[in-house]
A and B are shown apart, each in its own frame.
Chain A
Amino acid sequence: MPPSTTPEVVENDLQPFFVLHKASSRIKDRTPTAQTKLCKRNKLSSSPASEKQLRGSVTEECDHHLFQQPQIEAFDIVWTKIESTIKDVLRDLNASIFHDIQQWVLECFNATKLLGEPTISEATRSFPVLNNTTPGKLFTSLVSTRNIEYVDDILTFEELGNFLKSHGFHVAMLSSLEFSLKNGIADCLKALLREFLGGAIDSADISILASWYREQVNYNKPLVLIINDLERCCGSVLTDIILMLSEWVVKVPIIFIFGVATTVDIPRNILPSHVLERLCPSRFMLGTPAERMDAIVEAVLVKHCSTFSIGHKVAVFLRNYFINQDGTVTSIIRALKVACLLHFSMEPLSLLHGRTLAEDQEEGKSSLSPETMLKYIDELPLYARNQMVDHQTKMSMAEGLSDLVTKQKLWSTAVLCLYEAGKYSNVRLLDLFCEALSQDLYLLRSSDCHAGYEKDRGLFSTNDRCQQYPVMQCGGFIGQIVRKVRDLSTGVLYQLIESWGKITADISEVHEKLETLRASVRCEEGKSPRKSSKGISRRPASKISVNIDKNPRMLNSQAVAFLDCLVRNFLRPIEGMPFHEIFCFKNVEKLQLVLIGDPRRRIQVDLLEFHKILKCSCCSKSGNSLVPSRHDSSIMYSLAQEHGDLINIHDWFQSFRSIVLQHKNKRKQTAKQSPSLKKRKDMNGSADQNESSIQARFCRAVTELQITGLVRMPSKRRPDFAQRVAFGL
């Protein structure tokens, strides 16, 4: 391939890298106000009839860059809020274990000090203090992450490091990358020195660390080395470093914290016994990913549901993705972030959301009045405002929005109360959350509820008082939770009611109902049934006054009544409410596409059904049959499907050739039939050319399939066969 024949390939394409362009300085002159003016001018010159057209022109005229500014601001506000909530949740979750580890480090440090302090002459020498007793032991904690994927724990260990640093410890964080065979102990030691001393250290010498530690400011503080993924470390490098540090333990009293994903036996598998002898292990356990997941869902999607919420389908997708595919909290956080991005990128009205949140943060308000909403709507950029045609729409929207925020609060309180009760029947919040978001189940419950009342009247004398509440008939997790509440013992029920009290403290509508329940609890405690009958939920009042002291299950029945009331009145999924689009992201298909690429399947589909993407007239007509007008690679890949895992190149070529020539023959025929058409080239001359061109096309199609990784080249052992790599979509 001489360079002269490749004019298409420009010089830049053959450079390993090149600067495409430098940043333009245009941006300086453009301020948001300039952009607003531009947009306003657009508005003036437009008629409301051509709304779509206008939007297009705005997009063109206002530079994308500035056009996106409000979206980016809204995204930043919302995501920063969610992210900080998540961080707080995870920190709280780990708080007690971090505290335990800190105590343990202190104990270990004191124990190491008992080995004796080096004398001045010993301390200034550049070799370790060797007692005549056995070499020092290194205290090691194995922190079981209970999660095979270490990605979730990177943040946990970082937080642990910061926590220990805040207590005045010296902390070094190393990852398994530093413990690779290729880099060896020298690089590992350099990284260790860099972590403790800060700045680049050129020589790998442990005595540097010893003399640094001897300095007044550093001395007498524990040295902690955290390695977050022990399984991935190279055993021999780790062995070397442990042996070395154990010899230096008097001068450098280092304490290990290892993150282990599988079992705490793992050191036994990767370290030889004489090294294990030098370690003095303890064990700590972190929370499981499922616990973390529930804590995050609770804080982000339930408690702060008015920040950002997701539709039922999205919730189910995330749940399945977490349980069946990925299992890491990191990926769910990322999924939320992507959902957030798509929300602001696809829904123009979502900008309102960003504004309200920003205002919320400043004023510390939890609900918004229609007037404030109206003000925000007026300040929306043009393209978003276009969605609302007149003042009336704006007004109803403002009212609807403020109503939506209030109802969301009630929904979240109801879910939290159910979750609190669900803890006794081991219901995961993620499952409950999905169920609480389902519009179908909500409708089903409403119809059941109606039927339930009818049934109630008929079955007045039923033995189980709880059965009269429609919520008992619910399937799924809510039904399970309620049935468990029915059977709870009185002591546990008291606790549950107390925790409900805390949850509902700010929400007056729910709190009132709970207060009546609590009043009856107090009555029961004080054995004064007469008083209790006063405020209990309206419906079965007459029955209660008769039965309360006879039936020990009365309290349970009242708790069930409370839950029934919550579910009936407040557990209304956001998707059923007007204007929910502003806060709620529902487009599960788009999320799935952006979040999880599926190149293996998609690239094959591109090849097999390429006419559906290109929408060309020539191939679309013939459907999936192999017509010569199809892309060469597409023909080749379709042909490859007929072979087993090995493709005979000769056969492959011949079938390709026949398909391509079928086309030529047809064209020849038409040419013969209509001699008036343009004269064709000399057939004999073009035959060779055809042959070489077909061969070249065959070669290039194989190369393309090879680039996509669908076909492997023939090996020396089997020169006549290419190998298929992908089977099925």
Chain B
Amino acid sequence: MELNGNWEEEEEDEEEFEFSRNYFLAKELASSAKKSKSKNRVTDINVVDEQELREAAWQIEPKHESEIVLLLDSYKTKYPEWLLALRCGFGLLMYGFGSKKALIEDFASTALTEYAVVVINGYLQAINLKQVLIALAEVLWDQMKAKRRVSYRDLPMSQQSFHSQSMDDLLTFLDQVEIEDGGFFVGVVIHNIDGPGLRDSETQQCLARLAACARIRVVASIDHVNAPLFWDKNMAHTQFNWCWYHVPTFAPYKVEGMFYPLILAHGSANQTVKTATIVLLSLTSNAQSVFKVLAEHQLCHPEEGNARDQLVIVMRKQKLIKSLMTVKKHLSKMHKHRLVNLLRYFDAQNCSYILVNNQTLKEFLEEVL
């Protein structure tokens, strides 16, 4: 056994060595390449019109369609195993190349029909977790009512009151252990738990607490190779309690890739109406009003930016906000979601621009706000 152990250790060392060697080889390659560094520029590529590029991107002919269908079918035999893990209290984490959205949703709608299932689209830019928790609480409440697990007397809160509860209270509600039936839960599907909207540590902590609730079972997918770094051992081992399943699908990342700028399209960092709407709707109503003021100002004065101090004055007049701090907070959040750009002028005036062209902005104001 010792021999075995040593052998395995050696193998691990070898792997580690291999890794570092690869890293340094790559670095070396880069430094040697510097001398004869490729001077070719992106601009040398004869890029087609951006609109055409986007259209072409949506009409890419998928490869290996039939093989992918077969592959997805082959995963169907694993559904019972996944269901068992879920019912035994584990969380499922799907990884591997390709969009796993269809696969997981198919699993949820065929194997989890006995339970209510809520889907969170983690690939979107911003997700309001509080709203998710409220929805979950409502679904669980319905489920309990339907199964007559509790009488109304036992449960003082009504569906409406979930909106006024704090995150802690909602989590406590979802963590009810009094219900005797251990197999009574709400499934939560989280596509791209490593996605941009869920990436910060506070959200991950919150998701971990959600996953640890007695009445919640999580099925999540990751795509990023370093996604496990989001979780410390407590989160990964006890709260999420992952069972890992390697399920490459090679299906195109259609929706997941929607928010990424195309590498060859130059003005691609700008938002389109569609993406901007999604982002804006996920913000609080107060932030939406701030955006509205910003937009109106930008439409009236297309040449200049929105000086922040000016903005504060307008908003105070409209009784939208009280302090500069709040405006700063809103603006930085919008900046984070690439809705606005923040600039600092030489006279130390902070200005902000909405990153949508004026025509789009007009349509947008009519449509959304």
Contacts and interface: CB of A to CB of B under 8 A. Distances in A.
Contacts of A334: 237-238, 241
Contact of B83 (A68, A600, A702): A68
Contact of B225 (A345, A616, A648, A710): A710
Interface of A: 1-3, 5-6, 8-9, 12-28, 59, 64-65, 67-68, 71-72, 75-76, 79, 149-151, 154, 177, 200, 312, 316, 319-320, 324, 326, 328, 330-331, 334, 338, 341, 344-345, 434-435, 438, 441, 475-476, 593-597, 599-600, 602-604, 606-607, 610, 613-616, 618, 629-633, 643-646, 648-651, 653-654, 688-689, 691-693, 695-700, 702-704, 706-710, 713-714, 719-720, 722, 724-729
A537 to B, nearest CB: 28
Interface in B191-208: 197, 205
A68 B244 contact: no
A593 B246 contact: yes
Contacts of B83: 64-65, 68
B246 A727 contact: no
Given A151-B237, A330-B233, A603-B95, A597 B128 contact: no
Contacts of A324: 9, 12
Contacts of A27: 114
A603 B71 CA distance: 16
Contact of B254 (A9, A71, A434): A9
Contacts of A720: 40-42
B265 interface: yes
Contact of B41 (A312, A650, A692, A698): A650
B245 A594 contact: yes
Which of B22, B42, B253 counts the most A-chain CB atoms under 10 A from its CB? B42
B54 interface: yes
Contacts of A654: 40
B248 A606 contact: yes
15 contacts: A2-B272, A17-B120, A68-B80, A151-B233, A151-B234, A316-B8, A320-B5, A596-B244, A603-B96, A644-B28, A700-B257, A704-B252, A707-B253, A714-B42, A726-B225
A14 B33 CA distance: 43
Contacts of A700: 57, 60, 252, 257, 262
A690 B226 CA distance: 35
A128 B246 CA distance: 60
Contacts of A618: 64
A9 B271 CA distance: 18
Given A1-B258, A599-B222, A65 B118 contact: no
A245 B339 CA distance: 45
B128 A16 contact: yes
A324 to B, nearest CB: 7
Which of B47, B54, B63 counts the most A-chain CB atoms under 10 A from its CB? B63
A12 to B, nearest CB: 7
Contacts of A22: 116, 139, 142-143
A334 B105 CA distance: 27
Given A438-B1, A722-B263, A16 B120 contact: yes
B225 A72 contact: no
A319 B233 CA distance: 18
Contacts, number: 343
A600 B67 contact: no
A310 B106 CA distance: 34
A76 B41 contact: no
Interface in B1-53: 1-2, 4-5, 8-9, 12, 18-19, 21-23, 25-31, 33, 38, 40-42, 44-48, 52-53
B264 interface: yes
B113 interface: yes
Nearest to A653: B45
B341 to A, nearest CB: 13
A693 B63 CA distance: 14
A75 B44 CA distance: 63
Nearest to B255: A13
Given A22-B142, A645-B26, A727-B26, A12 B47 contact: no
B116 A597 contact: no
A531 to B, nearest CB: 42
Interface in B77-116: 79-81, 83-85, 87-88, 90, 93, 95-98, 101, 105, 108-109, 111, 113-116
- Nearest 9 CB-CB pairs, A to B? A644-B30, A728-B22, A597-B244, A650-B40, A644-B29, A696-B56, A709-B224, A606-B97, A699-B262
B228 interface: yes
A692 B53 contact: yes
A644 B85 contact: no
A16 B127 contact: yes
Which of B55, B64, B227 counts the most A-chain CB atoms under 10 A from its CB? B64
Contacts of A435: 1
A499 B190 CA distance: 54
A655 to B, nearest CB: 11
Given A21-B116, A699-B262, A729-B19, 10 more contacts: A338-B90, A597-B93, A613-B71, A644-B27, A693-B59, A700-B262, A702-B263, A707-B253, A709-B225, A725-B225
B256 interface: yes
Given A345-B81, A596-B244, A691-B46, A20 B96 contact: no
Contacts of B40: 648, 650-651, 654, 720
B42 A14 contact: no
B169 interface: yes
A695 B48 contact: yes
Given A67-B80, A707-B260, A696 B60 contact: yes
B325 interface: no
Contacts of A150: 234
B93 A16 contact: no
Contacts of A719: 42
B57 A696 contact: yes
B114 A23 contact: yes
B238 A650 contact: no
Contact of A693 (B31, B60, B95, B183): B60
A576 B97 CA distance: 40
Contacts of B88: 72, 75-76, 79, 341
Given A599-B95, A602-B96, A23 B146 contact: yes
Contacts of B312: none
A725 B22 CA distance: 12
B250 A631 contact: yes
Contacts of B96: 599, 602-603, 606
B225 A708 contact: yes
B55 to A, nearest CB: 6
B6 to A, nearest CB: 11
Contacts of B245: 593-594, 597
A341 B244 CA distance: 13
Given A476-B1, A595-B244, A13 B121 contact: yes
Contacts of B12: 324
Given A16-B127, A696-B56, A316 B258 contact: no
Interface string B151-185: 00000000000000010110000000000001100
Given A16-B131, A345-B81, A615 B114 contact: no
Given A150-B234, A599-B222, A614 B64 contact: yes
A599 B233 contact: no
Contact of B257 (A24, A59, A703): A703
Contacts of B28: 644
B223 A708 contact: yes
B119 A18 contact: yes
A648 B237 contact: no
B52 A692 contact: yes
B58 A695 contact: no
A76 B113 CA distance: 22
B291 interface: no
Which of B22, B255, B263 counts the most A-chain CB atoms under 10 A from its CB? B263
Contacts of A643: 29
Interface in B244-288: 244-246, 248, 250, 252-258, 260-265, 272, 274-275, 278, 282
